[in-house]
Amino acid sequence: MGARLGLNLEQTQKLIMTPELRQAIMVLQLSTLELAEYIQQELQENPLLEIGDDGEVAAAEEPGEDQGGLEIDWQEYFQDGSDLGYVNGPREEAREWNQQNLVAGQPTLQDHLLLQLKIAAPSAREREIGTFLIGNLDANGYLKISLKEAAAYLKVSPAAVWRVLQLIQRFDPPGVGARSLTECLLIQLRQRDDAPRGAEKIIRNFLSYVAEGRLGHIARRLNMTLPEVQAAVDYIRTLDPKPGRSFGDSQENRYIVPDVIIERVGSDYVVLVNDLALPRLGINPLYQALMRQEGNCDEATRNFIESKLNAAAWLIRSLEQRRLTIYRVVNCLVQEQREFLDKGLKYLKPLTMRQVAATLGMHESTVSRATANKYVQTPRGVFELKFFFASGIEKRGGTATAKSIKKMIAEIISREDAANPLTDLQIQELLQRQGIQISRRTVAKYRDEQGIPAAAKRKRY
């Protein structure tokens, strides 16, 4: 049978990603700071948008006025304040900024060292060499260039570079300007006068054994007793292996602005969406008046204003929908994780986005976007919203989250006898007695993730 051409009428359903829907999805997953930047960009691009005072936002049009035949759907939205908070009522005023509320920026490591160099360097040439060396320190305070390379670049002798480097190595913080971990610790050791016997030899020759907890081998090699080696190792561990880390970076973000705040009021918790950093948007009344007057603008101008008017209405609708969605998701998290808020980390329940989505009657991807890149301030501290979603491990009478089990492991180790530390197998048995079905390998994994060394490295003599 030969192929034939024909026309068939078929009815199908397709999801069309409109620009408005794409905008709503994008707005939902932005953090508060990112959203503030996005709104500022929209204010610059859309002349009909403006920052309105409270009570003026919803006054774009009064009911019953002639709309000039425009088929736009934003008026009903402005009149409806039932979607959590977008009402014509007083809004909490943000605190005014003044100089006393501003915190001075933390000096960087380079700033701190350059100030000392200006005082300590006897000549302009040495200050030039020192400035170059300080500029080649990494964030931890280590010199990342060799003396030979520095001398070739500056066209001086390596001995001159070495003299300036020795000067920098006497600066604060102790250990700065070192080229290796061993040199860093030795610089700090020489600046002290209370080092125990054997500390310098251990730093020079046995740092790898210290990391592995092989104190017995060190004792035999240095002809010392185990308590003496333990005292020397304890002293070495008081030295700072990264002396530059206490100084900030001028470009780093030092603060987290919570997108949601959970406050305890009596015996209940209240969810507040933090929108004080976001302006209240309104529609410019001049353009509205222009649209109402017939014959004041040509068709192209009228179409332009109409398109911008609809875009502004969609943006405001997206912002309020974002606020409502975040509130509903966080309110559900409060209900599900009430024990965590009341009692602490050990009571964090296993929870998935699918469970929250099913409870709220929304799609799982919506919950994911509503919690992406956002932080919540709680009575227990500031957390990422995704912190509240945790996998679970079988436990007698239910399940326990990985975070709560890590907390239990840390508490068990904190109470152990340092002379006879618990092995991973012993910790596993203790957890199983509490009804938590966990393998030894998982115990080791959770212990490593918390930076807790193995039993052999925790042993003290």
Residues 219 and 156 placed together within one structural domain of the fold: yes
Average pLDDT over every residue of 56-68: 39
pLDDT at 279: 82
* For residue 57, pLDDT beyond 50: no
In whole angstroms, give the CA distance from residue 379 to residue 334: 12
Alpha carbon 161 to its chain centroid, in Å, reads 40
pLDDT band at 397 (very low <50, low <70, confident <90, very high): low
pLDDT at 76: 46
221: in domain: yes
270: in domain: no
CATH of the domain at 127: 1.10.10.1330
Residues 129 and 214 placed together within one structural domain of the fold: yes
In whole angstroms, give the CA distance from residue 331 to residue 271: 6
Share of the chain above pLDDT 90, in %: 41
In whole angstroms, give the CA distance from residue 417 to residue 421: 6
Contact, 203 vs 186, CB < 8 A? yes
pLDDT at 377: 92
pLDDT at 248: 63
The H helix count followed by the E strand count for the chain is 21, 8
Residues 228 and 303 placed together within one structural domain of the fold: no
Q: Where are the beta strands (DSSP E) in 4-117?
A: 49-51
Between 129 and 252, whose confidence is greater?
129
Q: Per-residue pLDDT tens for 18-33?
A: 777 788 888 888 888 8
Residues 73 and 137 placed together within one structural domain of the fold: no
Residues 240 and 314 placed together within one structural domain of the fold: no
* For residue 191, pLDDT beyond 60: yes
To 10 degrees, what angle do helices 124-135 and 158-168 make?
70
pLDDT band at 247 (very low <50, low <70, confident <90, very high): confident
* For residue 255, pLDDT beyond 80: no
CA separation (Å) from 118 to 168, 181, 191, 250, 300?
11, 27, 22, 21, 66
pLDDT at 82: 40
* For residue 273, pLDDT beyond 70: yes
Residues 58 and 172 placed together within one structural domain of the fold: no
337: in domain: no
263: in domain: no
pLDDT at 58: 40
Contact, 309 vs 74, CB < 8 A? yes
Q: Give Cβ neighbours of residue 85 (< 8 Å, ≥ 6 apart).
A: 273, 320, 323
CATH of the domain at 436: 1.10.10.60
Residues 25 and 80 placed together within one structural domain of the fold: yes
Residues 77 and 124 placed together within one structural domain of the fold: no
pLDDT at 323: 92
Q: Six-digit token pair at 37?
A: 């930047």
pLDDT band at 75 (very low <50, low <70, confident <90, very high): very low
326: in domain: no
pLDDT at 310: 86
Q: In which element (H, E) is residue 410 found?
A: helix 402-414
Q: Per-residue pLDDT tens for 307-358?
A: 888 888 888 889 999 999 999 999 999 999 998 999 888 888 888 899 999 9
DSSP 130-199: HHHHHHTB-TTS-B-S-HHHHHHHHTS-HHHHHHHHHHHTTSSSTTTT-SSHHHHHHHHHHT-S-PPTTH
- Write down the pTM of the prediction: 0.62
* For residue 89, pLDDT beyond 50: no
| Residue-averaged pLDDT of the chain | 82
461: in domain: yes
Residues 73 and 114 placed together within one structural domain of the fold: no
The domain boundary residue, chosen from 246, 265, 285: 246
pLDDT at 230: 93
Q: Per-residue pLDDT tens for 156-180?
A: 999 999 999 999 999 999 999 999 9
pLDDT at 157: 94
Residues 289 and 240 placed together within one structural domain of the fold: no
Residues 401 and 312 placed together within one structural domain of the fold: no
* For residue 229, pLDDT beyond 70: yes
* For residue 282, pLDDT beyond 50: yes
Q: Per-residue pLDDT tens for 424-454?
A: 999 999 988 888 888 899 899 989 989 898 8
Q: Give Cβ neighbours of residue 265 (< 8 Å, ≥ 6 apart).
A: none
341: in domain: no
pLDDT band at 389 (very low <50, low <70, confident <90, very high): confident
Paired strand residues for 84: none
User: What is the number of structural domains in the chain?
Assistant: 3
Instruction: Give the three-state DSSP class for 17.
Output: coil
pLDDT at 295: 62
pLDDT at 65: 41
pLDDT at 86: 40
pLDDT band at 253 (very low <50, low <70, confident <90, very high): low
Residues 309 and 433 placed together within one structural domain of the fold: no
Between 62 and 210, whose confidence is greater?
210
46: in domain: yes
Q: Where in the sequence is the domain holding 438, given as residue range(s)?
A: 391-461
